[in-house]
Copies of this chain bind each other. A is one copy, B any other.
Amino acid sequence: MRDHNWFKLALTFKGSVIPAIYKRVIFCGSFGFFISILDYLGVPVSFTNLDGVVSSIVLGLLLVFRTNTAYERFWEGRKIWGTLVNNIRNLARLIWVAIDEKSLEDRKAKENNMKLLVAFAVATKLHLRSEGVNSELESLMPPARYFKLKTMNNPPLEIAFWIGDYFQSQYQRNCLGLYQLNALNDVLNSMVDMLGSSERILKTPIPLAYSIHLKQLLLIYCLLLPFQFVDSLNWATGAIVALISFTLFGIEEIGEEIENPFGHDPNDLPLDAICATMRRNIEDLITLSPSASSFKDDNQIANIN
């Protein structure tokens, strides 16, 4: 069965790089075919000693370096969102356990702010995709805030401000110790760090000079191929050149696709699913009642543990 999957995966179209590169491949193949026509017509187009011009070792190393770099960005993006999940889980647990409830309204405020944590993640997602504040956020905050948010340059920063403001006000109401205020703020800082790190990956692609030079080498390499092969391959030149350019353009394209992992492509990070998981974790947590900060007495606690 494993082997069955192996072949099935090897022949998958959706998610592969083929849709992105087939035009370039056809272009190279056609150029190869054109050269074989010239060869057939007796034009002297065969140069068999050109294979050192762009050394396949150098090109291979550059391509793999390109893919490697892009993968590291992809994986760093994933780590950032993993850290965001961890932060939100920890912050939600700390809010639920550590902030004292003096009235029923306090519990409501806690729940609202735990929802704001999810809203932070959703707003970050939308911000990274250059999508405006939309209905996904509407159910996670009061309408007044929702409309305020629509006017901001950087909505997640605004939400972080609200959460930090809530912590500070709970501290001033003596529902939260000073030391715990700091602990909560540390996790909130880490959430803002994750926003900034995502923006960093989004806004800083691989240096232009590198990107251009690699494309130039690829182009030179592929366009020189027919001249080398036409003597021995004749009419098959076009097909073989297309195959070779497919392997090389494919590797470069992987780099381009995973370099920015925050979009909607099949190869991007499943940000929607991650946000949904956070939301479910928070809803689960709300079903549990903390023994410490609510109205149970100490003896009861000692019995449970």
Q: Which A residues lie at the B interface, using CB under 8 A?
A: 2-3, 6, 9-10, 12, 15-17, 20, 23-24, 27, 49-65, 67-69, 71, 74, 78-79, 82-83, 85-86, 89-90, 93-94, 96-98, 103, 105-106, 108-109, 112-113, 142, 152-154, 157-158, 160-161, 164-166, 168-169, 171-173, 177-183, 185-187, 189, 192-193, 195-197, 199-200, 203-204, 206-213, 215-220, 229, 232-233, 240, 243-244, 247-248, 250-251, 253-254, 257-258, 266-267, 269-270, 280-281, 284-285, 288, 290-293, 298, 301-302, 304-305
| Neighbour of A2 across the interface among B20, B173, B302, CB < 8 A | B20
Known pairs A86-B193, A220-B247 / 20 extra A-B pairs, C-beta < 8 Å = A9-B211, A9-B215, A15-B212, A51-B52, A52-B244, A57-B60, A86-B189, A89-B196, A93-B157, A113-B305, A153-B280, A157-B284, A161-B288, A165-B292, A166-B301, A178-B180, A207-B254, A207-B257, A209-B254, A213-B254
User: Complex Cα distance A266/B210, Å?
Assistant: 12
User: Complex Cα distance A182/B248, Å?
Assistant: 54
| Chain B residues positioned under 8 Å from A157 (CB to CB) | 89, 93, 281, 284-285
Q: Would you call B247 and A54 a contact (CB within 8 A)?
A: yes
Q: Would you call B215 and A78 a contact (CB within 8 A)?
A: no
- Rounded to whole Å, the gap between the CB of A69 and the closest CB of chain B is 7
| Chain B residues positioned under 8 Å from A197 (CB to CB) | 82, 86
Q: Would you call A248 and B58 a contact (CB within 8 A)?
A: yes
| Chain B residues positioned under 8 Å from A284 (CB to CB) | 152-154, 157-158
| Chain B residues positioned under 8 Å from A171 (CB to CB) | 292
Closest residue of chain B to A211 (Cβ to Cβ) is B9
- Rounded to whole Å, the gap between the CB of A107 and the closest CB of chain B is 11
Q: Would you call B293 and A168 a contact (CB within 8 A)?
A: yes
3 closest cross-chain pairs (CB), A and B: A168-B292, A10-B215, A109-B305
- Rounded to whole Å, the gap between the CB of A255 and the closest CB of chain B is 10
| Neighbour of A207 across the interface among B90, B192, B267, CB < 8 A | B267
- Rounded to whole Å, the gap between the CB of A240 and the closest CB of chain B is 6
User: Complex Cα distance A302/B287, Å?
Assistant: 22
User: Complex Cα distance A116/B64, Å?
Assistant: 44
User: Complex Cα distance A24/B52, Å?
Assistant: 19
- Rounded to whole Å, the gap between the CB of A40 and the closest CB of chain B is 18
| Chain B residues positioned under 8 Å from A213 (CB to CB) | 16-17, 250-251, 254
Known: A56-B55, A60-B61, A97-B164. A71 touches B210 (CB 8 A): yes
| Chain B residues positioned under 8 Å from A172 (CB to CB) | 292, 298
Q: Would you call B166 and A305 a contact (CB within 8 A)?
A: yes
| Chain B residues positioned under 8 Å from A154 (CB to CB) | 281, 284
Q: Would you call A168 and B212 a contact (CB within 8 A)?
A: no
- Rounded to whole Å, the gap between the CB of A197 and the closest CB of chain B is 6
13 contacts between A and B (CB under 8 A): A9-B212, A53-B247, A56-B58, A58-B64, A62-B64, A93-B164, A109-B305, A165-B292, A169-B292, A180-B181, A182-B182, A208-B267, A213-B251
